[in-house]
Structure 1
Amino acid sequence: MDEILAFLFGVIAVIIFFPVVYRYIFNNSLL
């Protein structure tokens, strides 16, 4: 159970964190 919860937490973290980083890099590239 703990491994499954850790995996789900990691997936959610990536889904939330990746778009922020991508948008940050994309905006800097435009500047």
Structure 2
Amino acid sequence: MSASGRKRTLQYDQERRLVCRTTDVLAQSRIR
């Protein structure tokens, strides 16, 4: 795997984690 590919995967992983956290917060506020 190339360095640029690894960097892209890392960035994608961070974005996915951020999206998961955002949906979690939205779901919690909706439950309340």
Give the alignment's TM-score, normalised by structure 1.
0.58
Identity %: 3
What is the root-mean-square deviation of aligned Cα atoms in Å?
1.3
Q: Which runs of 4+ in 1 moved over 2 A?
A: 21-30
The gaps in structure 1 that reach 5 residues or longer are none
Cα deviation for residue 20 of structure 1 reads 1.4
Structure 2 distance, partners of 1:23, 1:3, is 30
Residue segments in structure 2 that go unaligned for 5+ positions in a row: none
* Corresponding residue for residue 4 of structure 2: 2
Q: Paired residues, what number? A: 30
TM-score of the superposed pair, with normalisation by structure 2 = 0.57
